[in-house]
Structure 1
Amino acid sequence: MGARKRLRADKTKEAKKQVSFASLSNVPTSPRKMRLVADMIRGKEVNLALDLLKYSSKEASRRVEKLLLSAIANWKEKNEGVRMEDANLVVKSINVDSARILKRLRPAPQGRAHRIKKRSNHVTIYIDSKVNNQEELKVS
């Protein structure tokens, strides 16, 4: 590994240590339905996002709510002694990627068969304090 590549890798490692995240793999919900929920909370404060997810009627919101609570717990583990209320936590980004697709056959008229695709997805959520986001914008 060259010097520039190593320095870049060290820099990204340090950046990952500062940001708290949680991920969920192979969720048996279609990515399109999960993205509707993800778009609902992207960029919102954590307490507001938890309220939106709790009172949403969508089935995918229950899974994202648990994932957000996990990300908050990961943040608390990294930042001991800092109160969550003082940090002004924000959902920095949330990614929904397509996962495996199960292919099934459904009987159709006249001896035919139709293929059914049962989609699943991966969700990754990043949270950070609003203070850190503003400092990064000033530095850039």
Structure 2
Amino acid sequence: MKQETSIVSASLNGARSSPRKMRLIADLIRNQEIYRALDLLNYSRKKRVSFLFKKLLLSLLSNWKKKHNQSYSEKKEYLYIKEVRVNQGKTLKRLRPVPQGRGHRIRKRSSNITVFLDNKKET
């Protein structure tokens, strides 16, 4: 007996923004309906991070359509963002020259993002 899952995922690895900034936006869109989340990202003040999340959500929606061979409007389903994971990716380490021949380390952080989409039947 095979159970069919309706969960679809999309991920973005190596996004050039720190995980702390990414988690602020991730908390904003978690458990939201997908089109509402896209609207929230349109009006977010963190433009660079919200642009990355917007691309990821559009990819997620495309993955869902490809898996189910249908458009969103054909069935009465409520697509929502089930889970958002933001983990730390690779860190680029650079040196910044400071007085007396020293160097201070600069860490340029990146993030790995994974988003899961699920659906609920509307009642």
Scaled by the length of structure 2, what TM-score is found? Answer: 0.88
Q: Which residue of 2 aligns with 1:130?
A: 120
Aligned partner of residue 110 in structure 1, secondary structure:
coil
Q: C-alpha displacement at 1:112, in angstroms?
A: 1.1
Name the % identity. 47
Q: Following the alignment from structure 2 to structure 1, what is the Cα–Cα distance between the partners of residues 45 and 23? A: 15
RMSD: 1.9
Q: Which has the higher contact order (CA 8 A, sep 6+)?
A: 2
**Structure 2 portions without partners, runs of 5+:** none
Distance 1:123 1:65 in 2: 12
2:83 to 85, 93, 104: 93
Alignment of 1:47-126 (within 5 A): 47-58=35-46, 59-81=48-70, 83-84=72-73, 86-126=76-116
Higher Cα Rg, which structure: 1
Equivalenced residues, count: 119
Deviation at 1:55, TM superposition (A): 1.3
Q: Quote how far apart the aligned CAs of 1:130 are.
A: 2.4
- By how many angstroms is 1:31 displaced? 0.6
SS in 2 for 1:88: strand
Give the corresponding residue for 2:9. 21
Q: Extract unaligned runs of 5+ from structure 1.
A: 1-10, 133-140
Q: Counterpart of 1:90 in structure 2: which amino acid?
A: Y
